[in-house]
Amino acid sequence: MAKVGLVYHPDFLKHKTGPMHPERPERLTSIMSQLEEKQLIDKLTRIEPKPAEETWITSVHSPQHVASLRAVGAEAGNDLAYVDGDTPMSRDSLDVAFLAVGGVLAGIDAVMSGGVRSVFCAVRPPGHHAEPSRAMGFCLFNNVAIGARYFQQKYGLKKILIVDWDVHHGNGTQEAFFRDPSVLFFSTHQYPFYPGTGGEGERGFGAGIGSTINVPMKAGSGDDEYIEAFNTRLVPAAKEFEPDAVIISAGFDAHHNDPLASMRLTEDGYGQLSRIVKGIADEHAGGRIISCLEGGYHLDSISKSVYRHIEVLLGG
Ligand SMILES: [Zn+2]
């Protein structure tokens, strides 16, 4: 059995979003209860997150972005303040966002020290919509983009593959690496849909052409369509790219029960996608996978999907 790490901290629950918001703390408590009830948690190596240093945040984001979030967070007081129409911050949100990034970085440290082979980061707020200079779509800092830079700048890894199977397009991650051939960004997403980007023709710019691969998918797509997209588009591209590490933007909102989107993935489908990505990591990247929670808003379905995902990382 492969050693798999789990990043979690109860402080991730302190990012409050209001009673009607789908990106709520219960998403994480539900995932953790599922892992505990089924005793999967005993097989995982717990990794303690520390707040990220700001220099890592600004490896992707502008200092102005950090300053503007600090200002919005300060406005929140005992209430919520809004970065955009659907992205609230509470008093503790900025600290939690630093801790979420720090969790991803701690996961990378654990993988690079050889302590574990792969890591699941049960973090919030999510990150893939956060652009270098703009927070949006429930996201403040782009956890996976900062993780990719950390792999490169702290550990000297050259090529990072980011696989984004969240049902929404990872516009923030795409923008961070659009001109950069050292990061291959692969995204499947419902299209047309929020946030509007992610057309097939968005393939990168300049030296980065070809290192962005968007696979827009029709509403109603399920396990078969996803597995086909991964096998025919991701696997050959990854073979050619030969990544040194793999990061997953692991959103579980393409599940058939999800209230925000219209896809039909099952828990078993997520397991099969996990197996394909694990195959890529095992073949090219010494098994190194950092998987970061993004979306997924049906509590029971994300919990069961995460469970299946981690089972596959363990070798099941
Ligand atoms: Zn999403």
Q: Where are the domains of the chain?
A: 4-314
**Structure tokens, 295:** 């979306």
Q: Is the pLDDT of residue 100 over 90?
A: yes
Average pLDDT of 210-239?
98
C-alpha torsion 214→290→44→51, nearest 10: -120
Distance 166 CA to ligand 1 centre (A): 5
Q: Is the pLDDT of residue 1 over 90?
A: no
Average pLDDT of 98-103?
98
Q: Is the pLDDT of residue 151 over 90?
A: yes
316 band by pLDDT with thresholds 50, 70 and 90:
confident
**pLDDT at residue number 24:** 98
Segment 28-47, tens digit of pLDDT:
999 999 999 999 999 999 99
Q: Is the pLDDT of residue 226 over 90?
A: yes
**pLDDT at residue number 77:** 87
**Structure tokens, 83:** 């970065």
Instruction: Cis check for the bond before 125: say yes or no (omega within 30 of 0).
Output: yes
If one compares 33 and 78, the residue with the highest pLDDT of the two is: 33
Quote the DSSP letter at residue 27: H
Q: Is 169 a catalytic residue?
A: no
Distance 156 CA to ligand 1 centre (A): 30
What 3-state DSSP class applies to 46?
Answer: strand
Angle 267-284/299-314 helices, nearest 10 degrees? 30
Q: How many CA atoms lie within 13 Å of 185's alpha carbon, on the beta-carbon side?
A: 30
Q: Is the pLDDT of residue 167 over 90?
A: yes
What 3-state DSSP class applies to 147?
Answer: helix
| Chain center to CA of 255 | 16
CATH code linked to domain 4-314 = 3.40.800.20
**pLDDT at residue number 67:** 98
**pLDDT at residue number 2:** 85
**pLDDT at residue number 278:** 98
Distance 108 CA to ligand 1 centre (A): 23
Percent of the chain with pLDDT over 70: 100
Total residues belonging to the chain:
316
Distance 113 CA to ligand 1 centre (A): 31
Distance 294 CA to ligand 1 centre (A): 6
Percent of the chain with pLDDT over 90: 98
Q: Tell me which of 61, 65, 128, 129 is the catalytic residue.
A: 129
Residue 219 near residue 190, CB atoms below 8 Å: yes
